[in-house]
Chain A
Amino acid sequence: MKDVTEKKTTGELTRRSLLKGSAAVAGAAVGSSLVSGFPTVWAQNIKNVTLRQFGTGVSNLNEVAAKVKEDLGFTLEMTALDSDSVTQRAATQPKSFDIADIEYWICKKVWGAGNLQAMDTSKIKNYDKIVGIFRSGKLTPESTIAQGTAPHSVGFTDGPNGKSFASEETGWMTLIPTIYNADTLGIRPDLIGRPIESWTELLNPEFKGKASILDISSIGIMDAAMVCEAMGEVQYGDKGNMTKEEIDKTMAIFTEAKKAGQFRAFWKSFDESVNLMASGEVVIQSMWSPAITAVRSKGIPCVYQPLKEGYRSWGGGIGLSANLSGLELDAAYEYINWYLDGWVGGFLMRQGYYSAVPETSKNYMSEDEWGFWFEGKEAKGDITNPFGQVMEKAGAVRDGGSFYDRMGAVACWNAVMDENKYMVRKWNEFIAA
């Protein structure tokens, strides 16, 4: 045991030395039972480990921490923050966390700060089952890769100490994908009363004073771009990496709409978007999937409207702090393996997100739930979320259909642009206009 720990703390950790170390320990522990592949000695010590995880509210759920304690024995402390604070912490406070639950575009921003360490995919049991989006970038072999910061493009680095991103699978991952979804506009069908089919509707004067967009520049600009492209006003080379001219044109259109009173409000947090929609202040806006659920659970009709131009998608994953080593690092790998093992996946998928390894999540979902959430089939009975609330009645079909329909229609990923600084300034001008 001592031998192993020492090897790890030298920082010269190679797979070989680790394997040798593990083999030695395993040898010493012959005859004792193995817990999830690790010798008992470790499994007992691991109970004293506490890992501090932070991330956005979507996946930082106390239920997950409780289940970790139950299944793995160690303690996981969760802190939920908004996207901006998450970025800030990942970039500036490396000592404050062990596990960063961040989005891929945030990873692109903060990886260079060197606060995260690359992960050895050979230690990830279900690595081969992770969906293609996060490995080759393709959902199915025929898919084309959407614009923006596609997760696979910032998902790999050259080696254990890699500082730059690799263009293909290298065996060293920056983030282990955990959760993702395809975002679109949310609408109040009862207050609109007609079908909505295109992103252009966000700026339709019909909804003057009743529209909203989110005020997180890197995501808001993408929604804005989806709208401008759908209107035919701006043609983009890559919506996820706009030129200054494209940014100017996009913001000009939105500034004009803002001055004309198109927007009721801008929202920054999940709760704000829920309140705007539920109170009827807004009838069409950028929205996130669980916010739709929250509005619906109040008995108010709200649809996550699939649009013909496609979805704006996002993905999140778990990154390990560069400070993690020894037993804590082993615990973190165990946690990752457990994360991909299905329980969390099922938990998240029953809220409308997707899991990185859907096939393991299937084991933790009923056939009806799997059919509704993943396959886009009609619900046979009531669909409840993991907290026991009824989300959909029997006969309902998921907005947008099956996993392949939705994730196959992604037009762009949340992104950080080369002209990020310029874009942020323009966005601030838009807000101040």
Chain B
Amino acid sequence: MQSQQPAKNLNSGQSFSWLLVSPTILILAFFLVLPLLTIAIVSFWDYNEWNFFPAFIFDNYVYLLESPVTWATYLKTLKFTVLTWFFCTIIGFTVAFFLAFHVRSLTWQIALFLACTIPFWTSNIIRMISWIPFLGRNGIANSSLISLGVIDEPLEWLLFSDFAVVLAFVHLYTLFMVVPVFNTMMRIDKTLIEAARDAGASGFQILTNIIIPLSRPGLMIGSIFVVTLVMGDFITVRFMSGGQSASVGRVISNEIALLQYPAAAASAVILLITVLIMIAIMLRFVDIRKEL
């Protein structure tokens, strides 16, 4: 330690800032780090029919990594993630673009933006389940298509299929894309667009050269939301696929239901690592801190 006044001031200043951040640190330590550590530790434990007990075994991981089911479920989950992300991005970007650049008055922007959030006033389970009677064999979609003469036989793939799962996901999570993209679009300096137009850029060139690059942080934040939500989901996949598709989240929830906590913990650790890697890769493309 050096000497005299400044150092002392710095010191008290430092401890004061530690004091200020300590609630956050404590909360994160207790409610994030500690549970995660517990999960990591339990993933090495052993279990039987009704109990699990301390041990240090790799069986849970070995089985997990060797089982073809794991690979199949991860593949399926990734497929859901990519499809959902794709549609959420297209729709989310379009909606945000419309709100930010086509709606001129701030009042209307706010009003329409709030309108987007109305479905979110109900629980997402309800929003998801309401698709079931709509898409069913004798549901509204099929009966209207039949009465319109578009199809003769009900479309079986509308419900209890991968289509239904992705549809529900897109419906549930598009707003998570709209909000951050809209937010970044609102910060784009409108003079940039005018300048581009003056310089003779077409609408498409403005979109690809100015708006998309400048919306990247929003797109990335939205993508992180959508990807993490879909990767961790278990209930949507179960309901919309009629229990016929597996996802990583469902495997974990099944293992918990069967009291195989260490196996569930191992699956959770692997899922966490996978998602962290995915996010790390996504952050390579955009430096969110710099651009916000």
Contact = CB atoms under 8 A, between A and B. Distances in A.
B146 interface: no
Interface stretch (A85-93, A130-138, A372-380, A404-412): A85-93
B243 A113 contact: no
Given A110-B50, A112-B49, A431-B243, A92 B259 contact: yes
A231 to B, nearest CB: 22
Contacts of A320: none
A420 B243 contact: no
Nearest to A267: B243
A402 interface: no
- Interface footprint category on B: 20 to 34
Contact of A281 (B49, B160, B245, B254): B160
B244 A263 contact: yes
Interface string B202-235: 0000000000000000000000000000000000
A176 B224 CA distance: 53
Interface string A37-81: 000000000000000000000000000000000000000000000
Interface string A322-341: 00000000000000000000
A432 B250 CA distance: 10
B175 to A, nearest CB: 28
Nearest to A416: B49
A431 B244 contact: yes
B257 interface: yes
Contacts of A431: 243-244, 246, 250, 254
Given A264-B242, A431-B244, A87 B69 contact: no
Given A113-B50, A113-B51, A425-B67, A281 B244 contact: no
Contact of B50 (A91, A268, A429): A91
B14 interface: no
Interface in B144-176: 156, 159-160
B259 A87 contact: yes
Given A109-B50, A113-B50, A429 B243 contact: no
Interface in A198-214: 209, 212
A275 B160 CA distance: 13
A54 to B, nearest CB: 16
Q: Which of A84, A209, A258, A431 has the most CB of B within 10 A?
A: A431
B258 A265 contact: no
A397 B246 CA distance: 42
B254 A428 contact: yes
B51 A266 contact: no
Given A215-B243, A265-B244, A416-B49, A84 B72 contact: no
A280 B243 contact: no
B127 interface: no
A112 B254 contact: no
Contacts of B251: 428, 432
B138 interface: yes
A420 B260 CA distance: 12
Contacts of A424: 258, 260
The majority secondary structure among interface residues of chain A is helix
A428 B69 contact: yes
A361 to B, nearest CB: 33
A433 B257 CA distance: 20
A191 B208 CA distance: 56
Contacts of B50: 91-92, 109-110, 112-113
B257 A264 contact: no
Given A113-B50, A432-B76, A266 B242 contact: yes
Given A113-B50, A281-B136, A429 B259 contact: no
A40 B59 CA distance: 59
A280 B238 CA distance: 19
Nearest to B243: A266
Contacts of B243: 215, 265-268, 431
A265 B245 CA distance: 10
A209 B244 CA distance: 12
Contacts of B259: 87-88, 91-92
B166 to A, nearest CB: 17
A35 to B, nearest CB: 38
A268 B239 CA distance: 10
Interface string B51-73: 10000000000010001110011
A89 to B, nearest CB: 10
A217 interface: yes
Interface string A154-177: 000000000000000000000000
A429 B251 CA distance: 10
B136 A91 contact: no
Given A215-B243, A425-B67, A432-B73, A264 B258 contact: no
A429 B160 contact: no
B244 A280 contact: no
A279 B69 contact: no
A433 B258 CA distance: 20
B133 interface: yes
Contacts of A425: 63, 67, 69
9 contacts: A209-B156, A215-B243, A264-B160, A279-B136, A280-B137, A428-B246, A428-B251, A429-B68, A432-B72
Which 9 residue pairs across A and B have the least CB separation, nearest first? A265-B242, A266-B243, A432-B246, A84-B257, A91-B50, A113-B50, A265-B160, A429-B69, A432-B69
